[in-house]
Chain A
């Protein structure tokens, strides 16, 4: 378990990998409960507060988006190492989502279409961008659980603010909760 903080609040971290930040927007959609959120939780590494590196171990990590490049993988592993409980949030983290549409075709074809044969590409000068600072694309987009162990999933595109709120508050109460029927009804 993470070491207890001075304020004794559960520590939460969030990240967006190959996602659209929609899940984060949905998290912020808890409206005025954001004030309660600050009372109840301590937010560590997250795009919301722009903390780049974990300063302490987190109780809960929320991961939005799957892995489309090597940097995503490294960040996800970094989260896994630093969070007690890791939650895969939304369709992209859980299934690859929209970015995984490219999985049906070879990576090289995608790159050629996007950078070399694109209507805006300058004839004869276009290249596939590469720099050691740029992440390398993976052969396909992976859902998070194919890269690291995932403890829980929050389905939805995005999961609603209510689902975020219920998930986080149940965590501090140490209890489970039932997913709304709409999220798990298929027929």
Chain B
């Protein structure tokens, strides 16, 4: 106990007993003990001067933190749509059989813990799982059997990663099975650029000129919302305060998205250089990369890159000889929460709290991290900057469409011949897209993940991927004709149910109502009124939620209904007495009671006896 106390105290001291570094403190404790023991909270209570209740508030929010002893090997199997399309069920069963325990529990001898997790950013190589956060891709039941047997036999986890990526653009340094799968590069990321070129060009100009250049380029946020990057920067530059921050949002959690994974493994220099450019533009000295825990396997690699950049004076004091411009970057890990991709929730998380989105305004550009003006940009946005600053804003504006200039990285998965990452120019039609990825019998495409739109592929062939038509955030999941589309829409609704932070009641409760009504439809028990009810609830949730999660959570149902109305209408029950709810079965609902009587009351001992 004394030993543990000392350990916890020294972890807290490592972070200067700073409660805003709670995420790092929890990760260190979990790395040491395999979970975060209650006793550790007692120690932290003193060291950080906050209550156990406050500690647990943060701890319980993130699904990668364990409050009770977990397995020696914790296996997180991706349950998302991309995995389901590639045989998730068989892998799920294989893990349960081989580990001899059920998902959601730890096996008897404590060797394996089995858990499910939403999209882990490997949709192009599913089924995939993280074992102690090390990715294992393209799983088969046989591979599962071999992996579990080897671990049981005492083999090192790292030794099981036999093959390091492959194919074009596979990065050998990172030592992971994950392959980059870059299928096509465009005019931006396809250009050879030497590290520091864009930054050096920026430093020749004033920060205001840099912002103007980015405005000229027409660069818009690549996380999905598409806010003007230059405008965001100018707000932050104008905001009062001497300390400002640049945050890179690398919490890529939208199901089906993995393009940031490729940027971080193939273009880390450009990303970090882009952060430095942003820092110079807004007047910040500190950059933070908020990296999702699913990408913890990149930690050593990215830390190494940061070290190289410091050695080249692209980071550090008087960057590239520019007197007075100091800039450095640290990596902050999340711990499994989709909503932390929302920028204000991300800030809360970086401050060691639950990922609850803030009420806006004020926006982060004015009151952000630690109350200071903060610019939060997506990985892809930042990584494009060195190219833009090197070649000029008007060069970049020459690509794409009038209203959505530039290029976009698409993460393509599902039913197609060539899943992977593609750099396209905005304005590409769905027809061109489907031909490019080899989707011959595409039925539906989930564009921009569940918060985006489920389009009818054949009816949308001439629609264009750009903000003025079909907004493309990055995720493209393709479904062919044999797929039960509503099953996947149902998964997406469950995803929102699980990932809602719960602060807004309509989102916390309304998503469940919508999901349950969809179940009713699928079971053939719903009538038109139930369907209308979904849309009514969807409207309430969208209108009354703080953040984008609630604003878009109805989209899987609303967009699939809009584009595939027959899928729903053929399931509606218009025969049963409309005064009664067809899903309620009185006989079935008293079965539990009858069973309890039978099992608990011995024969002849009921009241009549």
Contact = CB atoms under 8 A, between A and B. Distances in A.
B75 to A, nearest CB: 27
Nearest to B599: A108
B434 to A, nearest CB: 42
A137 B579 contact: no
Given A77-B580, A80-B579, A186-B506, A128 B600 contact: yes
A117 B575 CA distance: 46
B159 interface: no
A32 interface: no
Give the interface size class of chain A: 20 to 34
A164 interface: no
A127 interface: yes
Contact of B591 (A73, A139, A148, A149): A139
B204 interface: no
A136 B590 contact: yes
Output the residue of A112, A128, A140 with the most chain B CB within 10 A: A128
Contacts of B608: 131
Interface in B473-528: 503-506
A187 B590 contact: no
B581 A146 contact: yes
Contact of A116 (B503, B529, B546, B600): B600
A142 B359 contact: no
Q: Is the interface of A mostly helix, strand, loop or mixed?
A: mixed
Interface string B589-607: 1111111110111000111
Given A128-B597, A131-B608, A139-B593, 13 more contacts: A80-B579, A81-B579, A111-B596, A116-B600, A127-B600, A127-B605, A127-B606, A127-B607, A128-B596, A130-B597, A139-B588, A146-B583, A148-B579
Contacts of A131: 607-608
Given A127-B607, A148-B579, A186 B593 contact: no
12 contacts: A73-B586, A111-B600, A127-B605, A128-B596, A128-B601, A136-B593, A139-B589, A140-B589, A142-B589, A149-B578, A186-B506, A186-B544
Contacts of B589: 70, 73, 138-140, 142
Interface string B544-570: 101000000000000000000000000
Contacts of A119: none
A140 B590 CA distance: 9
Contacts of A186: 504-506, 544
B593 A138 contact: yes
Nearest to B590: A136
Nearest to B508: A186
A157 to B, nearest CB: 14
Nearest to B594: A136
Contacts of B594: 136
Nearest to A132: B608
Contacts of A146: 581, 583-584
A145 B581 contact: yes
Interface in A113-152: 116, 127-131, 136-140, 142, 145-149
Given A70-B586, A187-B359, A107 B580 contact: no
Given A128-B597, A130-B601, A149-B529, A106 B581 contact: no
Interface residues of B, number: 32
A59 B606 CA distance: 43
A148 B580 contact: yes
Contacts of A127: 600-601, 605-607
A76 to B, nearest CB: 10
Contacts of A138: 589-590, 592-593
Question: Would you list the 6 A-B pairs with minimal beta carbon distance, nearest first?
Answer: A108-B596, A139-B592, A186-B505, A136-B590, A107-B592, A138-B589
Interface in B258-300: none
Nearest to B601: A127
B595 A108 contact: yes
A131 B359 CA distance: 55
Output the residue of B544, B580, B595 with the most chain A CB within 10 A: B580
A68 B342 CA distance: 40
A130 B608 CA distance: 9
A149 B580 contact: yes
Contacts of A108: 592, 595-596, 599-600
Contact of A142 (B544, B584, B606): B584
A130 B590 CA distance: 13
A140 B581 CA distance: 16
B584 A129 contact: no
A101 to B, nearest CB: 16
Nearest to B359: A187
A137 B599 CA distance: 15
A131 B607 CA distance: 7
